[in-house]
Amino acid sequence: MDGNGRWANNRRLPRVAGHKEGMNNVKKITKKASQMGVKVLTLYAFSTENWRRPNDEVSFLMQLPVDFFDTFVPELIQENVKVQVIGYTDALPEHTKQAVDSAIEQTAHCTGMILNFALNYGSRAEMLTAVNQLVEEAKSGELTEEVTEDMFSKHLMTAILPEDYQDPDLVIRTSGEERISNFLLWQIAYSELYFSKVYWPDFSESHLEEAFGSFQARNRRFGGLNETKESK
């Protein structure tokens, strides 16, 4: 969800105003994605590298989940949306962690779309954590066989998601930047990538539909051949 700061700068507003507007947009896009049948919507909300930002901006970002869940959880329940979080949440401020834990608990009964926040998340750190867990299991004798892709995936944070939806079909990045920025590096090996020039606060429901339309028009081969399309 990139471009909050630049959205604010273009309007001569403080950067935090962009983050607030970005939070409001999460609500609209979440509802639209749920209504369109998305099974899991993962939003990169705060990376392990974002701690390097100015203290006042980080403090504001840590307050956003509190405000977001305080106002939006009832609507999420109404939409039958379940909240999940991946990331190193133990390192979050206590008020942020409490808000996250409460949202997870309140929506645990929901059976519709999973709204999965990547919060204090970094993919390289996630993979190193998985490797170290496997090393410890090997040392203790719990692991006695060769590590497979499936085994490795089970040690990643996305293992909390349903097995069929741990690897995203589509990755959308807003604001015109064309890079992955340490997001689900293992899981997106065969994901389709979509880059929008629109800043996140302006990324509307129609922009989401355009991204889905682009995805549906692509020929996904996963390293093989799509016999139907390749023969045309």
How many structural domains is the chain composed of? 1
Tokens at 214, concatenated: 């682009």
List 14's β-bridge partners, or say none. Answer: none
Query: Would residue 149 count as lying in a domain?
Result: yes
Distance of CA 179 to the CA centre of its chain: 15
- Whether residue 122 lies inside any domain: the answer is yes
User: How confident is the model over 106-149, as pLDDT tens digits?
Assistant: 999 999 999 999 999 999 999 999 999 999 999 999 999 999 99
What region, left, alpha or beta, does residue 80 occupy, with left being phi > 0 and alpha being psi -120 to 50 degrees? left
Q: Is residue 228 part of a domain?
A: no
Residue 221 lies in a domain: no
> For residue 160, what is the DSSP state?
G
**Could you read off the pLDDT of 147-160 as tens digits, one per residue?**
999 999 999 999 99
Instruction: Answer yes or no: are the C-beta atoms of 76 and 28 closer than 8 Å.
Output: no
In a domain, 230, yes or no: no
Average pLDDT score over the chain: 95
User: Contact 34/81 with Cβ under 8 angstroms?
Assistant: yes
Range of the domain at 192: 4-215
Please indicate, yes or no, if residue 220 is contained in any of the structural domains.
no
* CATH assignment at residue 148: 3.40.1180.10
pLDDT digits (tens, 9 = 90+) for 62-99: 999 999 999 999 999 999 999 999 999 999 999 999 99
What are the pLDDT digits (tens) for 161-189? 999 999 999 999 999 999 999 999 999 99
pLDDT of residue 133: 98
Binding residues: 2-7, 15, 19, 47-49, 51, 53, 173, 179-181, 192
Half-sphere exposure in the Cβ direction for 216 (13 Å, CA): 6
DSSP alpha helix (H) spans, the chain: 4-10, 15-35, 55-78, 94-106, 123-140, 149-153, 205-216, 227-230
Catalytic residue positions? Answer: 2, 50
Q: Which two tokens stand for residue 228?
A: 């139907």
**223, part of any domain:** no
Residues in the chain, total? 232
Domain membership flag for residue 222? no
